A = this chain, B = another copy of it.
Amino acid sequence: MSTRLDEVPPLTDADGAGGALHRLVAELYPICRSITGEGVRTTLRRLQQLIPLELVEVPSGTPVLDWEVPPEWNVREAWIANSRGERVVDFRHHTLHVLNYSVPVRRRLSLAELRPHLHTLPDRPDWIPYRTSYYRPTWGFCLTHRQLESLPEGEYEVCIDSTLAPGHLTYGECVLPGQTPDEVLLSCHCCHPSLANDNCSALAVATALAARLRGLKLRYTYRFLFIPGTIGSITWLARNRQRVDRIRHGLVLSCLGDPGGMTYKRSRRGDAEVDRAAAHVLRQAGPAHAILDFVPYGYDERQYCSPGFNLPVGCLTRTPNGRFPEYHTSADNLDLVRPEALADSLARLVDIVRVLEANRVYVNKSPYGEPRLGPRGLYGSTGGDKGAVFDEMALLWVLNLSDGRHDLLAIADRAGLPFEKIAAAARALVSAGLLA
């Protein structure tokens, strides 16, 4: 007989989960991922060692909603050599050096001819930018602005030994069955190359959550998706249109390792249960957090929350996309991501899942006046003492608001008490026969 989530203690930062999470981030970081190709497969196979992950292969050219699956991209080498044959930019040193989805090229050309193909960040001269060109065939290199400035005039040789050919889009899917077919969707993008926070961090945290939930007795069925951004969620939605109604709650996970406070971006619905659960957990965890309204920009919540689907899917991050200076540059590296931040993200994510698992609408079976708590062992018996008040408040709130129209989460929010206290009170009242 397996254990329920509310029977295991909540995660705390002291559990040492941070170190293991950071080591997994460090393993995934060097792999050259894109929206298709071997880098994605290598990444997902590593995660398969930790959780029951199915790899799904969808052929190039498959129509998916308004899109189609693109050709598969792989790159073996990519470099720029100077006139003396020295490689001045080399993909082997950093996966960001090649414009993601570059078409193959091998030719000699002057610096002037080369320049339009070189991307830098003049304001951040030591950082390599991350650039992609999935749908416009071109080639290019990304490098630091200092590298660019150090290049003398003269002839250069460029080589991008890539293939763009019919193949597959690959994604990973891990399903943990629960007592009901109602699903909780957890989705993270696995298409970015060497960017540690965006999104090796969420790959690691999602994997750790799946590992933690596996084997527990779960109310909901949990579906973890490791997918390329945009085209991946569109592909999954296209293949699962009949199944999306089962999704009762969902979270897109990203940027879960930086030292900033946690951020929750509401679903398009704005008042979905997952919106209330995430807001409650972040509020209870302390003041350094932000709750943002939905905007139709960001990660795959854009697709899940498109008006035709309008799923109850929010987005959980620490500092959101575009709001930290290292975003989409080589400075999003293993130093930006902190073990304690990864552990805290996992703990809060588990807290949200705990709320979703335990949240229910109960009905007070003794709704006329307060029932006697003392004889049922629920109450201190000496009255008049101020100190005893706060222990019983959770019981009183649950009894008073369990009229069939308030779930436990609404009661916790109304009472200003942590969900766990309210849920514990509800369990005690159910045991005493006062709640059903």
Contact = CB atoms under 8 A, between A and B. Distances in A.
Interface of A: 65-67, 100, 129-136, 230, 233-234, 237-238, 241, 268, 295-297, 302-303, 305-310, 322, 327-328, 364, 366-372, 374-375, 381-386, 389, 393, 396-397, 399-403, 415
A44 B367 CA distance: 30
20 contacts: A65-B368, A66-B366, A66-B370, A67-B369, A129-B384, A134-B383, A135-B372, A135-B375, A136-B382, A295-B397, A295-B415, A296-B401, A302-B370, A303-B369, A306-B369, A307-B367, A307-B403, A309-B369, A328-B384, A328-B386
A369 B234 contact: yes
A297 B389 contact: yes
A233 B369 contact: yes
Given A133-B383, A307-B400, 18 more contacts: A65-B369, A66-B371, A100-B384, A131-B384, A132-B382, A135-B375, A136-B381, A234-B369, A268-B400, A296-B393, A297-B396, A302-B370, A302-B396, A306-B368, A306-B370, A307-B364, A307-B367, A310-B403
A130 B383 CA distance: 9
A203 to B, nearest CB: 19
A52 to B, nearest CB: 27
A307 B135 contact: no
A136 B382 CA distance: 7
Contacts of A302: 370, 396, 400
A302 B241 CA distance: 49
A399 B135 CA distance: 21
A237 B307 contact: no
A115 B302 CA distance: 68
B369 A400 contact: no
Contacts of A385: 131
A69 to B, nearest CB: 13
Interface centre among A136, A307, A309, A375 (most CB of B within 10 A): A307
A384 B241 CA distance: 29
A398 B189 CA distance: 25
A382 B233 CA distance: 20
Contacts of A133: 381-383
Nearest to A393: B297
A328 to B, nearest CB: 6
A133 B367 CA distance: 25
A268 B375 CA distance: 26
Contacts of A268: 400
A295 B375 CA distance: 23
A253 to B, nearest CB: 19
Contacts of A397: 295-296
B368 A308 contact: yes
- Residue from A296, A303, A310, A375 having most chain B Cβ neighbours under 10 A: A296
Contacts of A100: 384
Nearest 4 CB-CB pairs, A to B? A308-B367, A296-B400, A308-B368, A136-B381
Given A296-B396, A328-B384, A303 B370 contact: yes
A133 to B, nearest CB: 6
Given A65-B368, A366-B66, A130 B306 contact: no
A302 B397 CA distance: 11
Contacts of A401: 296, 307
Nearest to A321: B386
A382 B328 CA distance: 13
Contacts of A305: 400
Nearest to A101: B383
B66 A372 contact: yes
Q: Which has the most chain B C-beta neighbours within 10 Å: A100, A237, A309, A372?
A: A372
Given A307-B364, A369-B66, A381 B135 contact: yes
A382 B306 contact: no
Contacts of A393: 295-297
Contact of A384 (B130, B135, B306, B386): B130
Nearest to A386: B322
Nearest to A303: B369
